[in-house]
A and B are shown apart, each in its own frame.
Chain A
Amino acid sequence: MSAQQSIASDQVSSKRSGIYRPLRVLPLIELAVLAIMLVAPLALNGRPELITLITNIVILSLLAISFDLCWGFSGIMTFGQALFFGVPGYVTALVGRDLGVSQIWLTLPLAMIVGLLFAFIVALFLLLGRRPTPIFIALGTLTGSYAAERLVSGWQYVGAGNGLSAIKLLQIGSYEFVEGTEFYSLACIALLVVYLGARALVRSQLGLVLAGMRQNEERLDFFGYRIQVFKVLVFSLGGMISGLAGALYSYHQGFIGPGNMGPGLSTEAVIYCLLGGAGTLIGPVIGTAVIEVLTYVLADIASIRQFWPVFLGLLLLGTILFQPSGILGMAVSTRERIGSYGLRRKGVRQQD
């Protein structure tokens, strides 16, 4: 940039002195959730069933975040996210059963690669057309998820309808991760790494492209962006995160079944995300926690348990109709949720 341009730019920038920085709520919520995650195992010490519950929440949060990256940040409606959760989960279980391998440095990356590649292949079919409609993508992913569930249900090699159980424990060297605080810590580390990575992505210049894609895909085409590349990239990354979640889930539960890749879990991922607040990474974590805690609390009440899926469906419908920005939308402004991407654009102008 020439000196003249630099001066002109400075003069232009100086016009923007009316910037103020409003209180940002999202970082506070993120810190609060992190604090709860750190304190929870101490508070729940002596209640192993609750440690199991919070570990599940952490693992399923990964699945919800993977859906959020696709839908909340990029506008890709996938109703089959469990497909990329279940398949790597099965692969992890089979590697343990048939090859006797469950080393963390091998199996978790393997599950992530399987999730990534599988999502990449599905994306090539569904997203590479000139302009596939959201309905086409939603139905395509839903069909894939359903077909995979049916296929696995009748395939004896993978345990058919019974799934695979007694999965070999996850190991580092000779140390085995058993269910409990250790596994919870591992899941938290995985969530933290994924969360920070996803946060960096959605706040980068690439994140700006995703935000543009969500709002006005056609316009981006006319800027010269090859939109399909970005869609395939995000969808594949979502698959990779789901793959990690699927592997952790199968190790934690010691079981993986057809239902873990079907439309049921796929829909739950949608509900976790929409209830918590799509387009905010912390929203899906909160949504997952709310649903899973409610499920746990109400599980003992037979009359409610019977109608729980109906309640979840109504909850999804109600969220879409009355609170589309989810729980977080009640505390976080749209402006903060969407954020800003440029240099020094952290605040907004003071209103007259």
Chain B
Amino acid sequence: MALLEVTSLTKIFGQLRALDGIDFAVHAGTFHGLIGPNGSGKSTLLKTIAGAHAPTSGTIRFDGTDITAALPFERARAGLSLKFQITSVFPELSAYDNVLLALQSREVLPSLLGSWTRRFLDGEVMAALDRFRLADRADDLAGELSHGQQQWLEISLALTSRPKLLLLDEPTAGMSPEERRVTGELLRPIRSNCALVIVEHDIDFIKNLCDHLTVLDQGRVLDEGSVEQIERSIKVREVYTSRV
């Protein structure tokens, strides 16, 4: 059974049919790339899966449960985690407090009020920052970090809840080639306990990281398969590749 199963998903904004009957599945432990030209519906699909947009029609099943009508916080608690396209950290909080905020999201109200877990979570916060090479910047405000570091911080935030599925929307946008390489290195180890859906324009990055690709065009699935299959796809080559 697929971890995530999207069936006939449609999202209409006014006159625009952003998603047009998308069928899409992600299996546990796989890295799944979503590619397509600008406006093909990649980010809309991620946001609709995460709950930022309510679908016009269609269903979304996650880990065997229909989450089509679930609120974002319910999806997050079910094990879905999203990293936004535009960096969305808490700029006036330190990198440390950003991670602490993400880590303590499952705490009950009395625990938060009494700060019962502050001491216990300290090690986890620093380990999460260290994993993304941010331990030295723990006390700096998130808004003062470089763009690449903010992206890493946000990936780190998305991973702290130990999600079953991580949705990454253009995690390397604005990064230097070296930062992109490092990002790939940082993401690879999560495969053992988390599936990944990643939207990227950098085809080389996605080819090196993912084992399955779905190509979107004008809100529809144009083709899908392994990286090799997509590279050989005449449909993709003719209709899409030249436009990326």
- Residue numbers of A with Cβ under 8 A of B are 1, 5-6, 8-9, 12-13, 15-16, 19, 130, 201, 204-206, 208-209, 211-212, 215-216, 218-227, 229, 233, 334-335, 338, 340-345, 347-349
Contact = CB atoms under 8 A, between A and B. Distances in A.
Contacts of A341: 93, 97, 100, 118
Contacts of B77: 224
A206 B111 CA distance: 8
Contacts of B141: 335
B118 A343 contact: yes
Given A12-B127, A348-B139, A204 B113 contact: yes
Interface in B91-115: 91-94, 96-97, 100-102, 104-107, 109, 111-115
A23 B90 CA distance: 25
B222 interface: no
A128 to B, nearest CB: 12
A13 B94 CA distance: 15
A342 B122 contact: yes
Nearest to B78: A224
Given A208-B97, A342-B100, A348-B140, 17 more contacts: A5-B127, A9-B126, A9-B127, A15-B135, A211-B93, A212-B101, A219-B90, A221-B51, A221-B72, A221-B76, A223-B73, A224-B106, A224-B161, A340-B94, A340-B96, A341-B97, A345-B139
A229 B72 contact: no
B71 A130 contact: yes
Nearest to A230: B109
Contacts of B51: 221-222
Nearest to A350: B139
Contact of B104 (A1, A205, A233): A205
A219 B93 contact: no
| Max count, chain A CB within 10 A of own CB: residue among B88, B94, B106 | B94
B18 interface: no
| Max count, chain A CB within 10 A of own CB: residue among B88, B92, B109, B117 | B92
Interface in B107-158: 107, 109, 111-115, 117-120, 122-123, 125-127, 129-130, 135-141, 157
B183 interface: no
Contacts of B76: 221-224
B227 interface: no
A223 B105 contact: yes
B127 A8 contact: yes
B221 interface: no
A179 to B, nearest CB: 36
A205 B107 CA distance: 10
B172 interface: no
B214 interface: no
B111 A340 contact: no
B187 to A, nearest CB: 19
Given A205-B112, A223-B102, A342-B118, A13 B126 contact: yes
Contacts of A204: 112-115
A160 to B, nearest CB: 42
A325 to B, nearest CB: 12
B92 A334 contact: yes
A236 to B, nearest CB: 13
A215 B113 contact: no
